[in-house]
Structure 1
Amino acid sequence: MSQEDILSVVQGTTLAVHVPGFVHPEALASARRQLFDHPDRGSLSQAAEFKRIGFAYSEISDSASRDRYHAEARTNIQRMRDLFAPYASPSDVLRLLLEETWAAGAGLMHVEGRKAFIGICRYQDKNVDLNPHTDALERNLPAEHARRLEAQLSINIYINIPRTGGELELWGTEPGEDAYRHLMDGRTWGIDREKIGPPVEVVKPAPGDLLLLNPRQIHAVRPSGDEPRITLGHFLGYYGTDRPLELWS
């Protein structure tokens, strides 16, 4: 993955960048044995049908949950390192790769002097549909926190993919927040597929692969037909070519 790859997704000339075999096969096999039935699996606050290890930035809804996110950040990073030991955590490898690749470097996002968590492990179990949606950092930032965020990217690292289903769907359209709320039409989360038509691209990654995309564009994941879909999720903040990239989960 190069600086040009990142810029091509920022500028919209590329829908997604696919890096096959990002995770070393031995590290992947070791982690999968632990992750399938890990005792730290918990429900996502805003959608109990989705499970995760770690606490996501999107779960922040008030000052208490904000404090929890930052207080647990270091512990959650270490938890993911332990899961991949004695191999390097793919999230750590990603951070180093971005630091080496991006001319201005890369590091953890800071909000009001507190660092973010990176490397959340997400589960999509059998028959769970990840409906079309967009992701935007501003939905969970403090109201008074001014950001000059020019683009937000997503980097998913795939740990397990079901034999049937689990495909990533991309629509290539980026609605503004008002348009997105209109498309939601009163739903608490996501968009009805019938409102937006078929996706322009469907991707079926393999375990160990990495995908870089723009999560402000509408995207979805088809239900898993057998095994759970397990990914490591990361967001990437772009503030211009002369500024460091910022990472969070």
Structure 2
Amino acid sequence: MKLSIARKELAQDIKTLPIKTTKVLTRQDLVDLVQGKFIALCVSNYYPKWLCEHLCKRLLKLPEFSRYIRAQNVGVQRTGITFFETKGDPVLLERYYAEAQRMRNTIRNTCFPYLSPIDKLRVELEEIWSAGARLENIHGRPMMVGIARMFEDSFELPPHQDVLARDIVDNCSDGLLLSQLSANIYLREAKFGGELEIWGMKPSYQEFLELARDELHFDQNKLPSSEVLYKPRAGDLVLFDSGRIHAVRPSKQGPRVSMSCFVGYRGQNVPLTYWS
């Protein structure tokens, strides 16, 4: 399938957008990111490198690590079920909410007496955003936030999008997101590979179907070249619009480990939300 002229123009425009690298997370940088002034925001040394490895060793001992229910063929494991995996299944949805508090406590207790990377991010978002920040609450129940992810050697995460609205099948939401950010705090980098790849494109669901190789992933042969190829370093925080196509290249001599969540934006005077 050929990309539309508009998509080609978008891809060309995005190539001029930089990754912004900074040492401190600020409100203005978040606003600039959601407004598309740069394609990704990297806060270097966001979490102490020595503590990254210390917590990584602890987290990797958790028995909750397993592959995503909806992506059993992809060698990426996470701690606890994520909302994306429920896809309207009432049994999985109930399991998700039932496990949310327990898994938040499990991660927090595993990191104790240190502040977990996700708790650090949650506190800072609440402090820098004038309207504050809170747990996402779609069905009147607090959601999970902050999973640890481990990439198995030689596996990749194929090109895909993360869009909350596509995972809510009952239309039970308290407001449409204007932007959904993926937040990743890296604890261990793979010796080889493991680069984060981002495209400038934000296809609609119909456009995804035309470019898809399966129900979750894009056919990379139908995509133009990506605009970003970034090798994460331990301690980095990276945020980008998860509606943009993104992928992770195969990693070796890892495992590559990070903690992640989504951050929802509904306007500058509305609280940010976060979930996993």
Shorter-chain TM-score tier: over 0.9
Q: State the partner residue of 1:50.
A: 76
What is the correspondence of 1:165-244 to structure 2 with a 5 Å cutoff?
A: 165-185=193-213, 187-244=214-271
In the TM superposition, what is the alpha-carbon distance from 1:111 to its structure 2 partner? Answer: 1.5
How many pairs were matched up? Answer: 248
Deviations 1:136-195 (A, max 9, x none): 00122242314321111110011111010000011111111110121104x132112221
Gaps of 5+ in 1: none
**Distance (Å, rounded) in 2 between the aligned partners of 1:169 and 1:39:** 29
Residue 86 (structure 2) pairs with residue 60 (structure 1) = yes
For 2:54, the aligned partner's letter is S
Residue 120 (structure 2) pairs with residue 93 (structure 1) = yes
What is the correspondence of 1:57-136 to structure 2 with a 5 Å cutoff?
A: 57-61=83-87, 62-136=89-163
Cα distance change on mapping 1:226 and 1:100 into 2, 3 Å: same
**Distance (Å, rounded) in 2 between the aligned partners of 1:213 and 1:125:** 23
Alignment RMSD (CA, Å): 1.3
Residue 42 (structure 2) pairs with residue 18 (structure 1) = yes
Deviations 1:97-141 (A, max 9, x none): 000011100010012210111111111111111111111001222
2:168 to 141, 149, 174: 141
**Distance (Å, rounded) in 2 between the aligned partners of 1:129 and 1:168:** 10
Q: What percentage of residue pairs aligned between the two structures are identical? A: 35
**Distance (Å, rounded) in 1 between the aligned partners of 2:171 and 2:212:** 26
Higher relative contact order (CA 8 A, sep 6+): 1
Q: Return the TM-score normalized by structure 2.
A: 0.86
The answer to whether the 8 A contact 2:53-2:188 is kept is no
What SS does the corresponding residue of 1:47 show, helix, strand or coil?
Answer: coil
What SS does the corresponding residue of 1:111 show, helix, strand or coil?
Answer: coil
**Distance (Å, rounded) in 2 between the aligned partners of 1:144 and 1:209:** 35
**Distance (Å, rounded) in 1 between the aligned partners of 2:172 and 2:67:** 28
**Distance (Å, rounded) in 2 between the aligned partners of 1:164 and 1:192:** 24
